[in-house]
Structure 1
Amino acid sequence: MTKTDISRSNLLENVRRVVIKVGSAVLTTADGLNPKAINRLADQLAELSSRGLDVVLVSSGAVAAGRQRIFERTSRKQHNGKDMASRQAASAVGQGRLMHDYDEAFARHGKVTAQVLLTRSGLKLRERFLNARNTMERLLEWGVIPIVNENDTVSTRELEFGDNDTLGAMCLGLVGADLFVNLTSADGVFDRNPDGNPDAKPIPVIEDIASLDLEAMCDGKTSVGTGGMYSKLRAARRAAQLGVPTLIVSGKGEFDIIDVLTGGAGGTLVLPEDRVVSSKKFWLAYHDNPSGAILVDGGAANALMTKGTSLLPIGITGVEGCFDRGALVFIKTADGSELGVGLTNYSADEICRIKGKRTDELPAIMGPAPSDVAVHRDNMLLDAAI
């Protein structure tokens, strides 16, 4: 879909597959999971499925569900730790409870669900990513509604995706979705954080999300989630790069997702970019956190941004961090401005040896060189939303 084809009234016309992300602030209360919220969500998504759409749900709530279950048996004070091990343990307890509640809620509409637990490291290898894609494709062919969450128990960073907004954006490329719906506790996006600015104005449509200063707009997080509006807008910007529109809308109260998707009021529609990146470039840019940075001079920066060239050693001025061949790295100018990210053909130590050198000088320095270029243009995404 292009921008000219998209309005709130025709949002569903060309959609065959939708990823819907729901946050902890929508699904939980101070006491744990909210059964009414889960049943209401299942009602809405079952209706979308019955209309012929493939539905993928990315759901938070496992940690809150686990703590609720533990507190039923022991004191809240004893098990209210917020360290990583406590969160992972609570998630291990809560995943089963969360899926049980979803299973029952969707079964009322004759819908079958499947639990899909992902880790960023699990999607890092292209072969595993493609295998996960094949599995998801088969589930959707069977009419099953996949319910996706991060595999918190084995994640090695807190947490690898950082938040389920990021995971939701990754799922867009994983399943080839046409629409991203992010259900949150806020009624869309405002020009300033409404928590501290009572006069903040809602933004019904964002036409060019890449032009926005997201950090200036968003300075708060919800109390029970790990995201906040910043992560939702960053996920929407990534979706826009794939050519996928995003609807950020409240999932609280008696919301009606069908009404919102067919022209109803509320929420914010983020339009896709005109220039769409390939799913492979999307995957390589966002499958991992960058391990370091390659610094380039003005000539190289201009060639990358205006001519679509690969990054040659002669344009490199330095490195930041320590990384191996094949690592995802930032590409920056000397003043720290980020141009994009890419997969490097050389380690940090090797780049220090070949920086500023012509291609014909590499064999004398390196012997058999792995490549004439430091980062190939096919393995690079400029203006990445990291």
Structure 2
Amino acid sequence: MDDRGKTLASARTIVVKVGSAVLTTRQGLHLSVLYNLVEQLARLAASGRRVCLVSSGAVAAGRTALAGRGCTAEGMSGKQALAAIGQGRLMREYEHAFAAQGMVCAQVLLTRDDLRSRTRFLNARNTFMQLLDWGVVPIVNENDTVAVQELKFGDNDQLASLLLNLVEADLYINLTSADGVLAVNPEKAAPGEPLPFLERIDDIAHLDIEALCGAKTSVGTGGMQSKLMAARRAAQLGVPTLILPGRRADILDRAFAGEKAGTWVRPCEHTVSRRKYWMAYQSDPQGTVFVDEGAARALEEKGGSLLPGGIRDVEGSFEPGAMVLVACGDTQIGVGLSNYSSEEIRRIKGLKRVEVAEILGDAHYPEVIHRDNLLLHAAV
């Protein structure tokens, strides 16, 4: 049995994400797809697995509900209003579908701020664990009705990647409108068969994500590039990803029975801690710190911390404790928590420790970013 078969057989906590392009049509929710999905999730649960579902579809369902009423939904407020209309419709169908299987589901709406605070992250984790212990299926979506731009996950692919850490999942399944990851960009050439698996997805130089991805769907916010970014994050955590054609009947059953559908994304050989994973992806970078080649080698090859002497420049405006990108020229090295503000870094860049002390005094950090607060090759 290969690694895919072994993982599918042994996985006990699974995060399944389904996108709008799978769940909706121009007429509204694709109920036959939704009910078939729930039947499959029920069978996974009956086999002793814990299942968490990340579901898109609220905005699309809301848009369909307003069809013919002359309402124009524009901008953030329009999308949030559509989500308010559609979320209840989406959950009503899920409740009916799970009830038909003798199961209970729970609605969980999140913003990024819920996972940014360590205390709220742990509270959310306790809630999810209790639901899963009860055999209840959490149905998770971004709280589009209230989320402002800086608190948004971006799309449900990224939300699902953060949920993997929250529920300590050992498998991530992404149900999409495509057959899997195609060998070439479908916008530029005939796509052909999907790739059966991807390795080294954390190695940007090895995998040209742009060449594999087409445009996002008309009803979603992500597209294949977003799915591969989420798979890169999952791989860093040691969690494999299976990208499957979500509209194909009983696709989950067939995958767990051994059918080689979709694309299997293998986890990284060297994984990161759950704490560092949470730290790196809990907020968007607020600026960029540019380092010289010597500092880049020290970070990537020796696992060192970033010292002031290796910094060439800084972009953006941020305070101490902010998440920042670290780059060498055009190459992104990683993300980390800065001990200094952008203004302080501008004052001490390129200096030795004794020179930093002369400017900032003795009460300063030796590192701009400590290695314990740095994640290399982050998927941002």
Which TM class, normalised by the smaller chain length? over 0.9
How far is the alpha carbon of 1:142 from its aligned partner?
Answer: 1.2
Cα distance in 1 between the residues matched to 2:57 and 2:246: 14
Match of 1:355 in 2: 349
1:17–1:53: 8 Å Cα contact kept in structure 2?
yes
1:66-118 deviation per Cα after TM superposition (whole angstroms, max 9, x unaligned): 122233xx52xx22424211111110111111111101100111111111111
Residues 89, 370 of structure 1: CA spacing in aligned structure 2 closer, same or farther, 3 A cutoff? farther
Cα distance in 2 between the residues matched to 1:214 and 1:12: 25
Secondary structure of 2:336's partner? strand
Cα distance in 1 between the residues matched to 2:250 and 2:359: 64
Match of 1:94 in 2: 86
Cα distance in 1 between the residues matched to 2:244 and 2:251: 10
Match of 1:305 among 295, 300, 303: 300
Cα distance in 1 between the residues matched to 2:228 and 2:339: 32
How far is the alpha carbon of 1:11 from its aligned partner?
Answer: 2.9
How far is the alpha carbon of 1:137 from its aligned partner?
Answer: 0.9
Match of 1:317 in 2: 312
TM-score (norm: length of structure 1): 0.94
Cα distance in 1 between the residues matched to 2:365 and 2:117: 21
2:185–2:191: 8 Å Cα contact kept in structure 1?
no
Cα distance in 2 between the residues matched to 1:113 and 1:219: 34
Match of 1:292 in 2: 287
Match of 1:167 in 2: 159
How far is the alpha carbon of 1:353 from its aligned partner?
Answer: 1.0
Cα distance in 2 between the residues matched to 1:113 and 1:232: 25
Cα distance in 1 between the residues matched to 2:39 and 2:232: 29
Q: 5+ unaligned residues in a row in structure 2: which ranges?
A: none
AA partner of residue 186 (structure 1):
A
Residues 70, 340 of structure 1: CA spacing in aligned structure 2 closer, same or farther, 3 A cutoff? same
Cα distance in 2 between the residues matched to 1:325 and 1:50: 49
Cα distance in 1 between the residues matched to 2:363 and 2:147: 35
Secondary structure of 2:66's partner? helix
Secondary structure of 2:145's partner? helix
Matched, 1:64 2:60: yes
Match of 1:364 in 2: 358
Residues 258, 314 of structure 1: CA spacing in aligned structure 2 closer, same or farther, 3 A cutoff? same
Match of 1:116 in 2: 108
Cα distance in 1 between the residues matched to 2:232 and 2:138: 24
AA partner of residue 257 (structure 1):
L
Cα distance in 2 between the residues matched to 1:261 and 1:282: 28
How far is the alpha carbon of 1:195 from its aligned partner?
Answer: 4.7
How far is the alpha carbon of 1:126 from its aligned partner?
Answer: 1.4
Match of 1:152 in 2: 144
Match of 2:172 in 1: 180
Cα distance in 2 between the residues matched to 1:370 and 1:6: 52
1:211-268 deviation per Cα after TM superposition (whole angstroms, max 9, x unaligned): 2110122131111111111111111111111111100010114233022123113100
198-207 or 345-354: which moved more?
198-207
2:80–2:145: 8 Å Cα contact kept in structure 1?
yes
Q: 5+ unaligned residues in a row in structure 1: which ranges?
A: none
Aligned-residue sequence identity (percent) comes to 53
Residues 278, 134 of structure 1: CA spacing in aligned structure 2 closer, same or farther, 3 A cutoff? same
1:152–1:159: 8 Å Cα contact kept in structure 2?
no
Cα distance in 1 between the residues matched to 2:191 and 2:264: 21
The residue correspondences of 1:105-254 to structure 2 (distance < 5 A) are 105-157=97-149, 160-209=152-201, 210=203, 211-254=206-249
How far is the alpha carbon of 1:196 from its aligned partner?
Answer: 4.2
Q: Which runs of 4+ in 1 moved over 4 A?
A: none
Cα distance in 1 between the residues matched to 2:212 and 2:78: 32
AA partner of residue 190 (structure 1):
L
Match of 2:42 in 1: 46
How far is the alpha carbon of 1:158 from its aligned partner?
Answer: 8.1
Secondary structure of 2:32's partner? helix
Secondary structure of 1:12's partner? helix
2:26–2:64: 8 Å Cα contact kept in structure 1?
no
Secondary structure of 1:192's partner? coil
AA partner of residue 376 (structure 2):
L
229-238 or 189-198: which moved more?
189-198
Match of 2:338 among 327, 340, 344: 344
AA partner of residue 197 (structure 1):
A
Would you say how many aligned residue pairs link Structure 1 and Structure 2? 377
TM-score (norm: length of structure 2): 0.95
AA partner of residue 156 (structure 1):
V
Secondary structure of 2:79's partner? helix
Cα distance in 1 between the residues matched to 2:71 and 2:362: 57
Secondary structure of 1:299's partner? helix
How far is the alpha carbon of 1:138 from its aligned partner?
Answer: 1.1
257-266 or 52-61: which moved more?
257-266
Aligned residues: CA RMSD: 1.6
2:185–2:211: 8 Å Cα contact kept in structure 1?
no
1:41-78 deviation per Cα after TM superposition (whole angstroms, max 9, x unaligned): 1101011011110100000000011122233xx52xx2
AA partner of residue 298 (structure 2):
A
